[in-house]
Amino acid sequence: MGKQSGSEMKILPGRRVEIWLGRSLGGLLLLGLYLLIERGGSAYLQRLTILFLINVMLVVSLNLFTGFTGVFSLGHIGFMALGAYASAILTMPVAMKAVNLPDLPLPLASIALPFLPALLLGGLTTMIIALLIGIPILRLSGHFVAVATLGFLIITRVILINAEGFTRGTRTFTGVPPYTTLGWTALWALFNVYVAWRLKHSTLGLQLLAARDDPWGARGVGVAIGRVRLIAFGISAFFTGVAGGLWAHFLTAFSPNAFYFSKTFEIIVMMIVGGMGSVTGSVLGTLLVMSVTELLRNLEPGVAVGSFTLGPLYGLSQIGLAVLLILLTAFRRQGLLGDREFRLEATIERLGDWVRKARFSIKAPSAREADPLINELISKLSKR
């Protein structure tokens, strides 16, 4: 036992160095990528990166609930809509409200908050609504939860269309200050990923995963399944609402139609592609799906093949998403990573193990193996 613990004491410092090196390298890579895009990237690349980071927040937030609990939600884009409208109303200048929202009640009509407080209030509003509707919805099980959350999405859209004093109804909601920048979006996306990662590896996360994989066993060891799922639902809704606020202050004009089935389908495909239950898989899934859809969207106006022009091909990006989902369902149902995580420090640890094994397995060559001339000389001397 003494020798074993001593060897472990020798290995642990090296592990700590590899973990520190992996995290430091990952941080430097992200910082370098951010500076490269922020200072040297084109306007198109910066716009695409902001949309990518907002989608990462949406997918990670959905995965935080659906992936960790195994309970499918089809209504998360409703939280995005609530966060978008709440943040937009809270930040709109008072003079603009008098023109665009003349029927807005006085407490809201007379204030214009800074960006960060508005984002936080929008996120908290969606979290409170999620907790209120989650109490009855999460008492259901299986596919009934998916149907109930889909009902929430439909109800949210109906309310947004009919609450003209707050949302302008079916007309485009304009006058939103363009506060969203690459820096703001990157900070919120990193914070969202960090919280989801920490949650997954916390006691609450272990309870969620246990309830997902074996509900009866989890109840048997004292896990309050309804309570932990409700907490995950609220946290997920908060970040979804913040993502909606970032999206609203980036586009500055939108309507209720932007928060419906098309966006829901897109986010669900990103989550499934990356892997349900994987935080890093959510990022990879978002990157892959956005790359495919952006490529196909550029082909929608038409494709020239020699003297023949094929097109226009409207809806090609949505068809591509459907085909990608079908292929994944047929050949890799768990997605890119399943519920596993990609860790840069783990990769460095494996590389360090390989180097250590290679170093200690190298055997010094004997004199005979070292030089053919020496072998020949030894052979001649032995004959004498």
The DSSP string of 87-156 is HHHHHS-HHHHHHH-TT--HHHHT----HHHHHHHHHHHHHHHHHHHHHHHTTS-THHHHHHHHHHHHHH
Tell me the pLDDT of the chain (384 aa) as tens digits: 444 444 334 445 555 655 656 566 666 777 777 777 878 778 889 999 999 999 999 999 999 999 999 999 999 999 999 999 999 999 999 999 989 888 898 888 889 999 999 999 999 999 999 999 999 999 988 889 999 999 999 999 999 999 998 999 999 999 999 999 999 999 999 999 999 999 998 999 999 999 998 889 999 888 999 999 999 999 999 999 999 999 999 999 999 999 999 899 999 999 999 999 899 999 999 999 999 999 888 887 777 776 677 777 778 888 888 888 888 888 888 888 888 787 665 555 656 566 556 655 555 555 545 455 555 555 655 555
Q: Identify the pLDDT of residue 272.
A: 92
Please report where in the chains the tokens 């001649």 appear, as a residue. Answer: 380
Q: Identify the pLDDT of residue 336.
A: 86
Yes or no: say if 177 and 249 are a contact pair by the CB < 8 Å rule.
Answer: yes
Strand ranges in 220-323 using DSSP code E only, listed in sequence order: 303-305, 308-310
Tokens for 215, please give them.
């509900």
Q: Identify the pLDDT of residue 348.
A: 56
Yes or no: say if 311 and 300 are a contact pair by the CB < 8 Å rule.
Answer: yes
| DSSP three-state, residue 371 | coil
Q: In this structure, how many other beta carbons lie within 10 angstroms of the beta carbon of residue 8?
A: 10
Instruction: Classify 312 in phi/psi space as left (phi over 0), alpha (psi -120 to 50) or beta.
Output: beta
Yes or no: say if 304 and 246 are a contact pair by the CB < 8 Å rule.
Answer: no
Yes or no: say if 77 and 267 are a contact pair by the CB < 8 Å rule.
Answer: yes
> How far is it, in rounded angstroms, from Cα 37 to Cα 49?
8
Q: Identify the pLDDT of residue 376.
A: 58
Closest CA to 236 of 53, 69, 74, 76: 76
Strand ranges in the chain using DSSP code E only, listed in sequence order: 303-305, 308-310
Q: Identify the pLDDT of residue 285.
A: 93
Burial of 111: CB neighbours in 10 Å, binned 0-12, 13-18, 19+: middle
Closest CA to 277 of 353, 203, 334: 334
The distance between the two most distant Cα atoms of the chain, rounded to a whole number of Å, is 115
Q: Identify the pLDDT of residue 184.
A: 94
> Which residues touch 275 (CB under 8 Å, ≥6 apart)?
67, 281, 282, 285, 334, 335, 336, 337, 338, 339, 340
Torsion sign, CA atoms 110, 188, 138, 135? negative
> How far is it, in rounded angstroms, from Cα 319 to Cα 377?
76
> How far is it, in rounded angstroms, from Cα 91 to Cα 108?
10
Q: Specify the DSSP element, H or E, that contains 314.
A: none
